[in-house]
Amino acid sequence: MINTKDTPVHPDGSPSNERGLEEVRLRQQAIGVKLRHMFDEVVNEPVPDEFLEILRRADQASSTKEGQ
C-alpha cells in the first residue's frame, strides 16, 4: 500500500510523478539541443548557385523598373 502522506500531490489531487517530469524535461532539452545543432548546420550551408542567379535576375528586374 502507498503512503499518500509522503507522496507529492498535484493541485487536482492526483499524485505527482517528479521522476517522470524530470525525464520529460531532459527529453525536451535534448530535442532542443539537436534542433539548434540542425538549424546551425542549415544556416551555414552555402546558397546554391541557381538560387543566387534567380536573386540576381530579380534584383536586375526591380532596378530596371525603378530606372524607368
Give the predicted TM-score (pTM) of the model.
Answer: 0.48
| Domain contains 10 | no
| Domain contains 45 | yes
pLDDT at 61 over 70: yes
| Domain contains 1 | no
pLDDT at 1 over 50: no
| Domain contains 30 | yes
| pLDDT value, residue 11 | 61
d(CA 8, CA 4): 8
Q: Determine what percent of the chain is predicted with pLDDT higher than 70.
A: 75
Chain CA centroid to CA 22, Å: 20
pLDDT at 33 over 60: yes
Domain with 50 in it: 18-60
Q: In the chain, how many domains are there?
A: 1
SS (H, E, C) 11-68: CCCCECCHHHHHHHHHHHHHHHHHHHHHHHHHHCCCCCHHHHHHHHHHHHHHHHHHHC
Query: What is the rounded average pLDDT of the residues 1-5?
Result: 50
